[in-house]
């Protein structure tokens, strides 16, 4: 994969029914017709569990890859009502999985649980999109770097291998609020995250680091100069094909 390959990942959260496939079809057509796509970027969409199997089948040999938004922290089968294991996710055809989204951290996912999720997801050959980010209070108390360092080092390990991990930096105060970090701040934070990751994996090159939080077709223009950012995790704006396509178009304008 080319060094400057970018990721555009759509996190649908609690959105989508079978007919929402129309959104993916339109995105897929755009990507297919974009002759620069192969060299430049990869599109991943994470629909809810209920759509993983059908969408994974439909997009098997197409331009869009499908991922899950979460999983339970045990593997295989178990007596855990309502839970979906990494093994079950893998068997539905998903290739990627988001782990550590702030929505799930807020519901009780701590570092120990998250580490188990990563271990079992990797065992099932899923690629990890690992989310980290400080909340508003931590930011105001200048605890951003301390928080991020802890979130990374408590969960990630060298043996997970850098090629299996994508990190998404999502400041919690930025998710769904329309607020975006200042460019210089974001540049510093991305560099810091990459430094920690190189340390964890003992590599010269860091795993990919994405930004997430209020990315849409207009805010994306602020990111085009920030070369250290390897892509974007997009929530709200990924639920419309037009918005999602415009994000890609405006990024490469
Ligand atoms: P947002 O969400 O783009 O709607 O801010 C991002 C996310 O939660 O991953």
Cα(98) to ligand 1 centroid in Å equals: 12
- Kindly report the length of the chain: 253
Please tell me the pTM assigned to this model.
0.97
162 a catalytic residue = no
Question: Which pLDDT score, from 0 to 100, does residue 61 have?
Answer: 86
**213 in contact with ligand 1, CB cutoff 6 A:** yes
Which mutation among 131, 172, 175 tests ligand 1's pocket best, with the greatest number of atoms within 8 A of CB?
Answer: 175
73 a catalytic residue = no
pLDDT (tens digit, 9 = 90+) per residue, 142-169?
Answer: 999 999 999 999 999 999 999 999 999 9
Average the pLDDT over each of 30-39, 72-81, 192-201 and give the range with the smallest value: 30-39
Given a cut of 90, whether residue 4 has pLDDT beyond it is: no
Question: Which pLDDT score, from 0 to 100, does residue 146 have?
Answer: 98
pLDDT (tens digit, 9 = 90+) per residue, 79-122?
Answer: 999 999 999 999 999 999 999 999 999 999 999 999 999 999 99
Query: Which is it for the CA torsion 33, 63, 175, 151, positive or negative?
Result: negative
Q: Would you place residue 3 in the very low, low, confident or very high pLDDT band (cuts 50, 70, 90)?
A: low
Rounded Cα distance between 201 and 38, Å, is 27
Rounded Cα distance between 116 and 74, Å, is 7
Cα(79) to ligand 1 centroid in Å equals: 32
Given 73, 101, 134, 162, which residue is catalytic? 101
């Amino acid at each position: 994969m080319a060094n400057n390959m970018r990721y555009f990942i759509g996190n649908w959260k609690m959105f989508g029914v079978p007919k929402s496939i129309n959104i993916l079809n339109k995105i897929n057509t755009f990507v297919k017709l974009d002759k620069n796509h192969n060299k430049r970027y990869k599109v991943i969409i994470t629909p809810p569990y209920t759509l993983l199997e059908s969408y994974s089948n439909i997009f098997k040999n197409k331009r869009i890859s499908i991922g899950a938004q979460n999983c339970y922290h045990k593997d295989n089968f178990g007596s855990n009502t309502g839970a979906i294991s990494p093994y079950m996710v893998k068997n539905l055809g998903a290739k990627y999985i988001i782990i550590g989204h702030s929505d799930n951290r807020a519901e009780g996912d701590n570092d120990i649980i998250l580490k188990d999720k990563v271990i079992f997801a990797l065992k099932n050959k899923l690629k990890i999109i690992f989310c980290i980010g400080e909340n508003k209070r931590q930011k105001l108390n200048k605890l951003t770097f301390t928080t991020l360092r802890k979130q990374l080092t408590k969960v990630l390990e060298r043996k997970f291998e850098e090629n299996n991990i994508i990190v998404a930096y999502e400041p919690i105060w930025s998710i769904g609020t329309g607020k975006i970090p200042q460019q210089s701040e974001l540049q510093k934070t991305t560099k810091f995250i990459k430094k920690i990751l190189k340390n964890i994996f003992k590599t010269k090159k860091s795993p990919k680091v994405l930004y997430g939080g209020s990315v849409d077709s207009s805010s994306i223009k602020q990111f085009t100069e920030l070369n250290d950012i390897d892509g974007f995790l997009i929530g709200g704006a990924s639920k419309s094909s037009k918005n999602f396509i415009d994000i890609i178009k405006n990024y490469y304008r």
